[in-house]
Amino acid sequence: MIFTLRQLQEKAIEQHQELFVVFVDFPKAFDTVDRVTLWKVLMEFGCPQHFINIIKGFHEDMIGRVAAAGNISGAFSICHGVKQGCVLAPTLFRLYLSAVQQNMTDGLSKGVFIKTRSDGKLFNLARLRTNTKVREVCVRELLFADNPASITNNQSDMQEIVDRFSADADLFGLQINSAKTELLYQPKPGKATQEKEITIKGERLTQSNTFTYLGSTISSNNSADVEVSKRVQAACKSFGALSKRLWSRHEIKLTTKMEIYRTLVMPSLLYATETLTLYSRHIEKLGSIQMNHLRQVMNIKWQDRVANVQVLQRAGTPSIESMVTASKLRWAGHVRRMPEHRLPKMVFYGELSEGKRQQGSQILRYKDTLKRSLGKSKHRC
């Protein structure tokens, strides 16, 4: 979903369109699911009755107790919600929320319309001008567990979507937390950001220029600057937490330190970077942090005059640029192999139904960085 949202942002900028995104928050989402309605939803989605009975058995006769200050309360029954910590809970809630979305979108033709066609070359936009094989798809929501996001190109359309979503959520027993539900507005290129009013039950939503969605920072200008800075902060925090216990202890082998570094620090530094459109300055910033960390791990001072290439060789690890390129190519291959109905693939191989590109060269796009990487490996896209 992070990739899909970033692609919609990028294509809106490329085709000079506005974009409105509302990130919806449900307080205690898993605990407020109405179980009777959930069983009906599972039946509507085609789950066999014996399977539903098994799921029911996991939730019937649930009791709870409260432990506080060394005391334990009496038992009480738990009649709502899915089981916290259960591996089925996210899937059950996702199905439940999908039913809310289906009920909301019945007869609703609002959202971001894209034209898509996945055969042919990615850069050959002429494939989207034909009268055959091109599909038009409406994207109005992004769903992941209890983190839905509504999206459209128009303020009035967004207000209508939010109103219907709120009303249908109430029907299913879900309450939207308007205090934590936020609006992100992306203006047309060259236009200043404006305050836009979207309300839920009369309460105006907070408008933000950045929002942390599924652990990745989404910016209203689709820039990677803020996200790269947060990746650096997260990696430095993870690295610093182990400074005295691990990195500065000479009796621990370098191979052990590097395994821990690759396992605990690098994921913080490179999380979701395969979805970003990165400039050389971003790669340099990420690379400088990696090099700083490796030199501390191996106790290499600047006076030692050891080149960065040698540091990487001693550590037995590739450069940041190589790792980002590899993860991006791996992700692109994953998207390419997706079924035709998958949203990331439809958006990646499509364009907005409305809007025109500027004449001349375009701003750097995700597929431009992908083409550059493929060119180095002598592949075609």
Q: Do 308 and 207 sit in the same domain of this protein?
A: no
- Work out how many domains the chain is built from and give that number: 2
Are 286 and 316 found together in one domain? yes
Domain end: 219, 250, 266, which one? 219
Domain span at residue 157 reads 2-24+111-219
Supply the pLDDT for residue 380: 53
Q: How far apart are the first and last CA of the chain?
A: 23
In this structure, the answer to whether residues 163 and 308 fall within a common structural domain is: no
Tokens of 119: 């055969």
In tens digits, the chain (381 residues) has pLDDT values of: 899 999 999 999 999 999 999 999 888 888 888 899 999 999 999 999 999 999 998 888 888 888 888 888 888 888 888 888 888 888 899 899 989 888 887 777 888 999 888 887 777 777 777 778 888 888 888 887 778 899 999 999 999 999 998 889 888 888 888 889 999 999 998 888 889 999 998 899 999 999 998 989 999 999 999 999 999 999 999 999 999 899 888 899 999 999 999 999 999 999 999 999 999 999 999 999 999 999 999 988 888 888 989 999 998 999 999 999 999 999 999 999 999 899 999 999 888 888 887 776 778 889 888 888 877 665 555
Q: Are residues 321 and 255 in the same domain?
A: yes
Q: CB within 8 A of 317, min separation 6: which ones? A: 258, 262, 294
Helix 35-44 crosses helix 89-105 at what angle (to 10 degrees)? Answer: 70
Could you tell me if 17 and 142 lie in one domain? yes
Predicted confidence at residue 135, as pLDDT, reads 87
Asked if residue 186 and residue 167 are part of one domain, the reply reads: yes
pTM of the shown model: 0.87
Helix ranges, 243-302 (H): 254-260, 266-270, 280-297
**Which pLDDT belongs to residue 21?**
94
